[in-house]
A and B are shown apart, each in its own frame.
Chain A
């Protein structure tokens, strides 16, 4: 045990906080309001996860992601998902090119997935076949085309957007795809006070220019710092109980889960809870994850991992309500007699 280690940890934590705030400040130049959404996107980025942004059109989802790409100085690519898009359009394919000698050869052309920040816009408009092209990239951080495997450069983050309305002609994301997103953030309407600033910035004569405040290397370092945050045992237990409480017929499941939930969270949910909780703990100035950190990230982590059954849909039960009930139930049990 060394005090220098503790000092180094404190320094790392301080660097993390400073970088995080700098990135957030730069993104906030473009995004007015939406503090929680910006925090959520940055937390997911620092935790090494992917984000699914859901909101009605015109709320700045695409602009948020593109602003983040500019602020981080990362390679950024945007994929506009359409119904006629094919997996090769995402991963890349071999094209016939003419050589110098006049011959022709097949040359692999990387798809837009090979980037640090990938904006999958309107991801639910592509067919499941095309959507599944993202599965390997999001989980394994690599793309396999034929016999060629391409390791994706870190940091790699997919930020997908989808529109909760206009469901006609769309393909809801399968559970395997949803589970790979660390967060599902719901972008709501801005506050009344934010409207003036939005109008002033977007309808005025001056353009907002974002400068790069961080590099890919800095982001990777921040990710390592996040990974080094310790988790006390009781917090691990709490994360496990939270995830198990979303699973029907488990010993921690409240009544609403047993009655209205068809599918609960997977162990990926517990991983996401702890990773996001670590970022939250660092941002809160602590060196260990607390129960409060898990509670604060439980909703974006678990809301897309809870599948409501038909009975729940008919009763108007939504995942947010289920997660809220789960938090209350598990919180009550943590106070049980030892």
Chain B
């Protein structure tokens, strides 16, 4: 309800209220500035907390790298680094807090904060606004007087300004823990003499390993003069003064056996490997010639493919070992031979279905052999004038029978031109379409080849024309006799008759 007992606000009586508002605003602003400074201190401290962990870790890493590079580790300023790790966040936070304390809050906001904390519902703010108006209305005066009743309690109240609670979060704890561990590690490393404890042992082992490599290296060098083992011999002389080169020496010493092994491999490949390859190829040709001599239709390429790996896997294998592996091939060839198919019979155009199929399967695997024969065919064609078609494939004509393929399989002879194939190719249609190139079916020749032109040179000879003399036309000496009546059509006869009758009728 309205407060009827309000102080008088007449003739400058509002001055005490204004002073009270000033005092309240000043104190509130000061408290808010301090609270804001504290908040900023905590906020910046939280943001710079990772420095507690990062500074020692960075220091340790740099010293470790320096130590591995051969330098003397300098752990003496460990305490200084620890102080730096702790002091930097505090320094930053202090600077930020001092900067925040310079920030001044608006008067209205300071009074508004008091209103908020004392649940005055903006009375002090409104009164401070109305006090400065030149001619306050009755309601404004009432508002000022209403606020005057609250100023005493506002001045006496203890306000707690908490701008915003800083959420330290889990990461702050993690960073703090890592920082503590890093500092402890830094202090531990700085306390003990790491150089004495670790450095000699590692150096001795490296030198010992290098000495062992040097004793073994002459054998390797005799086989192949690789410069790496020489380095392994020279470097230990310098390691007495330069410890940084010890790891490098050890690495080179470890790398020297690999180098000798690589040299061995290269030497083996140049000599023995090449001869073994020659052996395998010769054996392969022998195995290929065997079924052809027997006249079987088995794949001649298979023995070649299977014979090649054998010398590589077992170069010293005895013929008894190779015999069981060739036995299945003989059984396969025997099975095909039992059906009566032979290579010579395949050249017969009237070969049976089985024979033509076998030949097709053979031709697919005879690419290498065909390439060699293609060159011979080309040479023979050139010698014959190039007019003969290529017969290097020696394929029989396509079977024209309309039988269905072998079982459910498609006909291997099917080339789309005829016979029981799936999809027929149109013949001659492409030539009717302008611009469609017609590929030449002769392999290896883009065009029909040179055509021999047989032409005889005939020299022109002059001819004497026969003499005919002109004479005037004489009378007929003999009567021509009765003319044979023209055998005209009845209509034409009637037409001629009408014509002459009409001529006679005219005067």
Using CB atoms and an 8 Å cutoff, list the residues of chain A in contact with chain B.
1-3, 5-10, 12-14, 17, 228-230, 232-235, 284-292, 337-338
Contacts and interface: CB of A to CB of B under 8 A. Distances in A.
B109 A6 contact: no
A6 B126 contact: no
Contacts of A229: 139
B367 interface: no
A199 B257 CA distance: 105
A-B interface, 7 closest residue pairs, ranked by CB to CB distance from nearest:
A338-B106, A5-B138, A290-B122, A9-B138, A288-B126, A6-B141, A287-B143
Interface stretch (B3-11, B71-79, B229-237): B3-11
A228 B121 contact: no
A228 B122 contact: no
B154 to A, nearest CB: 16
Nearest to A5: B138
A3 B130 contact: no
Given A10-B2, A10-B4, A338-B105, A230 B137 contact: yes
Contacts of A338: 104-106, 108-109
Given A9-B138, A13-B142, A233-B129, 14 more contacts: A1-B10, A1-B135, A3-B9, A12-B138, A13-B2, A14-B2, A228-B138, A230-B143, A235-B122, A286-B126, A287-B143, A288-B126, A288-B127, A338-B109
A286 B145 contact: no
B121 A286 contact: yes
Q: Could you say which of B10, B14, B106 has the most chain A C-beta atoms within 10 Å of its C-beta?
A: B10
B103 interface: yes
Contacts of B212: none
Contacts of A12: 138
B89 interface: no
A256 B135 CA distance: 43
A290 B150 CA distance: 16
A284 B129 CA distance: 20
Contacts of A17: 1-2
Given A232-B122, A288-B130, A3 B8 contact: yes
A333 B125 CA distance: 17
Contacts of B14: 1
A233 B140 CA distance: 12
25 contacts: A1-B9, A1-B14, A3-B9, A6-B6, A6-B142, A9-B142, A10-B4, A14-B2, A230-B126, A230-B139, A230-B140, A232-B125, A233-B108, A234-B125, A234-B129, A284-B121, A286-B121, A287-B126, A287-B142, A287-B146, A288-B139, A290-B121, A290-B123, A338-B104, A338-B109
Interface in B9-39: 9-11, 14, 36
A59 B8 CA distance: 50
Contact of B9 (A6, A228, A230): A6
Contacts of A13: 2, 139, 142
A290 B138 contact: no
A179 to B, nearest CB: 28
B42 interface: no
A5 B137 contact: yes
A284 B143 CA distance: 13
Nearest to A9: B138
A228 B137 contact: yes
B112 interface: yes
Q: How large is the interface on B (under 10, 10 to 19, 20 to 34, 35 or more residues)?
A: 35 or more
Interface in B64-105: 103-105
Contacts of B4: 10
B106 A286 contact: no
Given A13-B2, A14-B2, A337-B103, A288 B140 contact: yes
A238 to B, nearest CB: 10
B397 interface: no
Q: Could you say which of A6, A12, A292 has the most chain B C-beta atoms within 10 Å of its C-beta?
A: A6
Contacts of B143: 230, 286-288
B141 A3 contact: yes
A12 B138 CA distance: 10
A6 B109 CA distance: 26
B136 interface: yes
Q: Could you say which of B2, B125, B145 has the most chain A C-beta atoms within 10 Å of its C-beta?
A: B2
A13 B105 CA distance: 34
Contacts of B105: 337-338
Nearest to B128: A232
A287 B136 contact: no
Contacts of B126: 230, 232, 235, 286-290
Contacts of B125: 232, 234
Given A1-B10, A290-B126, A285 B2 contact: yes
Contacts of B11: 1
Contacts of B108: 233-234, 338
A297 to B, nearest CB: 14
Contacts of A2: 10, 138, 141
A5 B146 CA distance: 14
A104 B6 CA distance: 68
A299 B10 CA distance: 40
B370 to A, nearest CB: 71
B112 A9 contact: no
